[in-house]
Amino acid sequence: VRQKRELATVLGIEQRRLRVLSYDVGGNFGARNRVYPEFGLVLWASEKLQRPVKYTATRSEAFLTDYQGRDLVTTVELALGEDGSFLALRADNISNVGARCVSLSPLSKGAGLITGSYRIPAASLRARAVFTNTMCTQAYRSSGRPEVTFAIERLVEIAARELGMDAVELRRRNLVPPEAMPYTNAVGSVYDSGEYEANMDRVLTLAEWQDFESRRTETAKRGKWLGRGLAHYVESSIGTPKERAEITVRPDGSVEVVIGTQPSGQGHETSFAQVVADMLDLPVEDIDIVLGDTDIVSVGGGSHSGRSMRHAGTVMAMASADLVAEGRRRAADLFDEPEDSVVFADGRFVIPDTNHAVDLVQLARDTAETHGPLRAARTNEMHTPVFPNGAAVCEVEVDPQTGLVEITRYASVDDVGRCINPLIVHGQTHGGIAQGVGQAMWEQCHVDSDTGQPMSGSFMDYGMPRSDNMPSFTCEIAEVISPTNPLGIKAGGEGGTTPALASVMNAVLDALKHTGVVDLPMPLTPLTVWTAIRGATGQTDQKMTGSR
């Protein structure tokens, strides 16, 4: 809907002349949310030529023109008391927005979460955007939150080392407790709910944290170094506040639900159908979700910022309640009884202690001629953000001869509020972890500093996470209900990514700590790790012996 509106403005035409169809493409992740110049050019060319025009970018063209993510430089300082309590934080964030500004979302969303999951009474933040000669940056999965989570979680590890404290216990001492919820952090964000310490305890159990030293000893026998890393996260989720649902009972007995949020392959149709089926006491297979066509969908905020299930679920539940209320009125007319005597249960309208009963579908058929189609529509706005949260543990093996890093274990606990479909949420978590690990270990759009020439033009010179580079994940869903919306939903689409960068980096540095290496740049390529090991151990004159 937004793309239709923006493209109509670009082309100088009325919106009714433009139709936008959107199909599953396997993922969005932020980069596909915005209107690209090519969209308008293709439509303009089609109008001029009076024939269909299709534009397909090559992989190299996509590397040059697709909106990119991250690219934040931050300087962060943490003040602690003698007992390890966090006192204050100071951050200076500089975000590269590229040659022109498409979005300030990463900078602004990260700014509200610079204190992470911790009680830090005071914070000072300077956030700046700079223009450069690179491609524009835009929201990329968990927009702005992985960057600030990386900063605070690395600071906690550094502080623990400097104070000679256990990093787990330092976290435990400073995590926001559940009784403090709703909690207003030092920069004004109001965390709705969460049990941060419980998340940590559970993920440590899932990762078998207590048995780590025995695994480290066994790994050393094979000439490898084992390391482990823990990271907490909290993120904000709001997105476009407005959403609309239209529900109609069709003559064939199916129920049509028109909804504006737009999936790209996540399986929203299944979760949406579950909500409506539960509200109307109907089989889920009778629910038909209609989306992705602006000739049908009039209002919608799309899929981004972890908004879809919360906004769509809420407005669908409201529209379902309206449909039941309309059905109750019709049933009262049909039975010639007072409306307040009609009860809806198990998909049927009944008058208790009588033989008056009719199911929802039959009622729609019986009253179609006198009342029209049985339908309800509801538009709703929600402006209060929710704060999904959790913790992750990564375990890695490092080959000191090659610098190769292999992830051997990865566990996470993610508080998504009420979970509608656990299987889909786990799928979102797995994909999110892969994207976070990809940034930590392989992905980099390298630009030559002297010429400005992009050096990453294909997957030959841009590392991507692959399933054969990942272990089996151990993931668990926590459901601490959010008080901000009727269904208690937070979000589940971005949590996998947010702590992954920090947990991977903490694990690799833990594996290298006996060498004296205390920091590394991302991505953690074999060359980067190998060079750091050689530099720390005074072996800089040796050659690399077989990284892959």
Amino acid 293: pLDDT? 84
- Segment 85-88 long-range contacts (CB within 8 Å, at least 24 positions apart): 85/173, 85/174, 86/118, 86/119, 86/120, 86/121, 86/174, 87/120, 87/121, 87/122, 88/120, 88/121, 88/122, 88/123, 88/124
388 and 452 share one domain: yes
Side chain identity at residue 197, one-letter code: E
Residue 185 inside a domain? The answer is no
> How far, in Å, CA of 70 to CA of 105, rounded?
11
**Least confident among 187-201, 296-310, 328-342, 509-523:** 296-310
The one-letter code for the residue type at 529 is V
Is there a single domain that holds both residue 373 and residue 419? no
Is 390 found in the same domain as 481?
yes
Task: Tell me, letter by letter, the H, E, C secondary structure of 232-257.
Answer: EEECCECCCCEEEEEEEECCCCCEEE
Question: Is 295 inside a domain boundary?
Answer: yes
CA 123 to chain centroid, in Å, comes to 25
Q: Are residues 534 and 485 in the same domain?
A: yes
| Domain membership flag for residue 188 | no
- Residue 133's domain spans which residues? 67-175
For residue 34, pLDDT over 60 is answered with yes
Residues 337-369: b if buried by 16+ CB within 10 A, e if exposed: eeeebbebeeebbbbeeeebbbbbbebbbebee
| Domain end (from 329, 348, 381) | 381
Cα 90 to the center of its chain, rounded Å? 26
Separation between Cα atoms, residue 275 and residue 280, nearest integer Å? 9
Q: Is the pLDDT of residue 51 over 70?
A: yes
Please, are residues 279 and 320 in contact by the beta-carbon 8 Å criterion?
yes
Beta bridge partners of 287: 255
Instruction: Give the pLDDT of residue 546.
Output: 38
Tokens in use for 319?
């529209």
Confidence class of residue 508 from pLDDT cuts 50, 70 and 90?
Answer: very high
Residue 396 lies in a domain: yes
Indicate if the pLDDT at residue 422 is higher than 80.
yes
Please indicate, yes or no, whether residues 482 and 531 belong to a single structural domain of this protein.
yes
Lowest mean per-residue pLDDT among 148-152, 179-183, 425-429, 453-457: 453-457
CATH of the domain at 373: 3.30.365.10
pLDDT value of residue 540 = 53
Give the strand pairing for 348-350 and 343-345. Answer: antiparallel
Domain presence at residue 543: yes
Give the pLDDT confidence of 479-499 residue by residue, as tens digits.
Answer: 999 999 999 999 988 999 999
Whether residue 95 is found in the same domain as residue 214 = no
Extract the runs of DSSP E, i.e. beta strands, from 368-506.
375-381, 389-398, 405-415, 474-478
Among 364, 381, 398, residue at a domain's last position: 381
pLDDT in tens, 109-164: 889 999 999 999 999 999 999 999 888 998 888 888 999 999 999 999 999 999 99
What's the predicted TM-score (pTM) here?
Answer: 0.91
Do 392 and 480 lie in one domain? The reply is yes
Residues 99 and 208 in one domain: no
Query: Are 116 and 170 within one domain?
Result: yes
Same domain, 537 and 391: yes
pLDDT value of residue 33: 78
Q: Are 197 and 415 in contact, with CB atoms under 8 Å apart?
A: no
Residue 95 lies in a domain: yes
In a domain, 184, yes or no: no
Percent of the chain scored above 90 by pLDDT? Answer: 76
State the pLDDT confidence band at 545, using cuts at 50, 70 and 90: very low
Tally of structural domains, the chain: 4
Q: What average pLDDT does this structure show over 199-218?
A: 98
Q: Is 417 left (phi over 0), alpha (psi -120 to 50) or beta?
A: left
Query: Are 409 and 293 in the same domain?
Result: no
289-304: pLDDT as tens digits: 998 888 888 887 777 7
User: How confident is the prediction for the chain on average, in pLDDT?
Assistant: 92
> Residue 281: which pLDDT band, with cuts at 50, 70 and 90?
very high
Q: Looking at the structure, do residues 460 and 515 belong to the same domain, yes or no? A: yes
pLDDT at 476: 97
- Is the predicted pLDDT of residue 27 greater than 80, yes or no? no
Task: Please give the pLDDT value at position 449.
Answer: 85
Strands 389-398 and 405-415: antiparallel
Residue at 181 is within a domain = no
pLDDT at site 294:
84
